[in-house]
Amino acid sequence: MSEVQGTVEFSVELHKFHNVDLFQRGFYQVRVFLKISPRIPHRLIATIPAGTEESSPTSPCIHDNVVFSRVFQILYRNEEIVVNDQMNFRIHLLLDGEKLEEALSEVDFQLKLDLHFTDNEHQLDDIATVPMISSRTLGLHFHPRRGLHHHVPVMFDYFHLSVISVTIHASLVALHQPLLSFARAGKGSWLGKGSGENGNDQVSVSLETLVFGAGYCKPNVTEGSFYVPSENCLQRAYSWHRRLCRLLLAAHRGLRAYFSGLMTEIPELSQVELDDLPIEETLTQLSIELQVRTDEAHSCQLYLRMDWLASQLFS
């Protein structure tokens, strides 16, 4: 099985926090974390926009890929606080190269939101120690072609009755040869006993294996010789290239369709003209360019071979 590195990016924004009926006045904070099943080798990187991460303990920050919102004070019932904290989660996944779309559709993405509270202002100097009082987890139904676009109110439990409005966008942004070393989960990780970040099985996939198939074995070549892959290997490579390009183009079209629909529904937004990218026409063009590059590579190899022979004959 050949494996491909896929990258999905989530953009999350916390809009407004509404105190319905919190029992205690004090300082509150929402912490956000994106969870992925440890059975899928992955790397997660959380970031916040440049300029928002400040030295103040009450400002947005990141600890171990968990995003801490700014700290806000609640004093009254039915009080509404504008949070407007933005964050990005970039996830690199190791996927089955033969079933990319199915593999991406089946990834269990979950967004965890924890509500933390303290009534001691001095405890804010060590923000990581502020205790959690409630938690909610959202299941994110991501599809690689359509992406994901949701705006939802998240209500915490009855004893901490409050709501935070959350906007979530996600899109597939890259498919390519694995460029990172992924740690695979060990046995029992589905029971919570292991982690995709702690496994010891590192994967390294050569470009030839990825393109020509898991059964491909490049023969040894002697000095001055060269190797041209068989027609079956080339046809598999063309098919693999076409599948990846089609899925990326479909993800681009899905994102474009959502953005265009948003501009239509909200005319107050700045109207931006987006270039259409027809999938079939673009695929055909990409396939032609790949074929041309392949032919050029073969011609170059033949030229080098002839040049080597000439050097042997006339040396």
What are the boundaries of each domain within the chain? Answer: 3-191, 206-314
113 in helix, strand or coil? strand
pLDDT computed for residue 236 by the predictor:
73
- Partners of residue 154 on adjacent β-strands: 164
pLDDT above 90 as % of the chain: 39
pLDDT at 234 over 50: yes
**Per-residue pLDDT tens over the stretch 114-130:** 999 999 999 998 999 99
**Nearest-angstrom CA–CA distance, 45 and 66:** 9
| Mean pLDDT of all residues in 163-181 | 90
Res. 10 pLDDT band, cuts 50 70 90: very high
**Nearest-angstrom CA–CA distance, 282 and 241:** 13
> Both tokens of residue 54?
């400040």
Please tell me the least confidently modeled range out of 23-27, 40-44, 66-70, 185-189: 185-189
pLDDT computed for residue 91 by the predictor:
96
**Nearest-angstrom CA–CA distance, 65 and 112:** 12
CATH number of this structure's domain 3-191, picked from the four choices 3.40.50.620, 3.90.1150.10, 3.50.50.60, 2.60.40.150: 2.60.40.150
Count Cα neighbours of 203 within 13 Å in the Cβ-side half-sphere. 28
> Both tokens of residue 182?
């992924």
pLDDT at 42 over 90: yes
Phi/psi for 268 (5° steps) reads -70, -20
Burial of 38 (0-12, 13-18, 19+ CB in 10 A): buried
pLDDT computed for residue 297 by the predictor:
53
| Mean pLDDT of all residues in 292-308 | 51
| Mean pLDDT of all residues in 49-60 | 72
Q: How big, in percent rounded to 5, are the helix, strand and coil portions of the chain? A: 30, 35, 35
pLDDT computed for residue 314 by the predictor:
43
pLDDT computed for residue 273 by the predictor:
73
DSSP code of residue 206: -
166 in helix, strand or coil? strand
pLDDT computed for residue 201 by the predictor:
47
**Nearest-angstrom CA–CA distance, 122 and 85:** 23
DSSP code of residue 273: -
What one-letter code names the amino acid at 103?
Answer: A
Res. 44 pLDDT band, cuts 50 70 90: very high
State the Cα torsion 72-75-76-77 to the nearest 10°: 60
**Per-residue pLDDT tens over the stretch 241-290:** 788 888 888 898 888 888 888 888 887 777 777 677 777 787 778 777 76
